[in-house]
Structure 1
Amino acid sequence: MTESPATRPPAGRYGPEPTERSVRRGRAGLVAAGVVGVALVVWIGLNLAGQPVSWKDVGFHVEDSRTIEVTFEVTKPKESTVTCTVTALSESYAQVGVRIVEVGPADSATRRVTATVQTTELAVSGTVEPCELVEEPSAP
């Protein structure tokens, strides 16, 4: 059995052959893009970790064609007040109801809240996003 020579396209068919310099430049570009990507992920992670408010959907219950109850948990500093936007969605993911809910100071950092949202048509899902700290007026 004889070995066949390495198969390569004819010279020049797909542009000039890469030089050692162009190969190094390509690798340097990939390394630089990787470093920038890692830095971006770290920056986003640090910003999210510094957020004092977090929330998550727990569930929803469709009361009727004009009402849905949305249950969610919000974690915040105990002494702070936050506002959460609760949204009702139709089968086509259109917003059919919205309510701003204020969650005030409490004995625990995490609170479970159920909000009733009036809708313009049948909602098939409910969600909360975002919850934001209410700015406290500064003392004179």
Structure 2
Amino acid sequence: MTLTDVERMLADRYGRGVSSSRRRLWWISVIVVAVLATAALGWSTVSGALRTVDAETTGYEVVDDHTVDVRANISIAPGTAVACAFEAQDTEHGIVGWRVVEYAASDSHLRAVVETVPTVAEATTGLVRSCWIP
């Protein structure tokens, strides 16, 4: 069955007949948008992972009523400076000491550090609170 010129004109006007070139252009557009969205998501994931800092408290030692030594491992991309907050707590988990330390960039991925935290009262624990890229 063939369409007459009038039927073809009406089909084009009211969207019943979509030419193959329009259909192909639509699918190419969909594919391009999907590829760009995937690339953007991948880049944001990779760039976010490159700027992460992991810190783990490995131990502490209460030196006296006004001092706690905190041991920690800091994992960060080589060549990146980092800052960390260390804290000391009492028996009720109140903060009795606090110290922020900045570390220069290093070639090492893992850094083992020991920091002395001064306290205003006797502490029962010491920990690394958080680390960030300054």
Identify the TM-score tier after normalising by the shorter chain: 0.5 to 0.7
Gaps of 5+ in 2: 1-44
For 2:58 and 2:104, the matched residues in 1 are separated by 19
Q: CA deviation at 1:104?
A: 1.7
TM-score, normalising length: structure 2: 0.62
- The equivalent residue for 2:113 is 113
- The equivalent residue for 1:58 is 58
**In the TM superposition, what are the counterparts of 1:17-28 in structure 2 within 5 Å?**
none
For 1:72 and 1:95, the matched residues in 2 are separated by 18
Deviations 1:54-107, CA, capped at 9 Å, x for gaps: 110000000000000000010111111111000000011000000001122122
For 1:61 and 1:129, the matched residues in 2 are separated by 16
TM-score, normalising length: structure 1: 0.59
For 1:107 and 1:81, the matched residues in 2 are separated by 10
For 2:111 and 2:56, the matched residues in 1 are separated by 11
**In the TM superposition, what are the counterparts of 1:83-98 in structure 2 within 5 Å?**
83-98=83-98
Residue 129 of structure 2 corresponds to residue 129 of structure 1: yes
- The equivalent residue for 2:8 is none
Rg bigger for which structure? Answer: 2
Gaps of 5+ in 1: 1-45, 135-140
**In the TM superposition, what are the counterparts of 1:68-107 in structure 2 within 5 Å?**
68-107=68-107
The one-letter code matched in structure 2 to 1:63 is V
| Larger helix share, 1 or 2 | 2
For 1:117 and 1:99, the matched residues in 2 are separated by 6
Count of aligned positions: 88
Q: CA deviation at 1:125?
A: 0.3
For the 8 Å contact 2:77–2:109, the answer to whether it is kept is: yes
For 1:81 and 1:129, the matched residues in 2 are separated by 17
For 1:60 and 1:71, the matched residues in 2 are separated by 6
Q: CA deviation at 1:110?
A: 0.4
% same residue: 29
Question: RMSD over aligned Cα, in angstroms?
Answer: 1.7
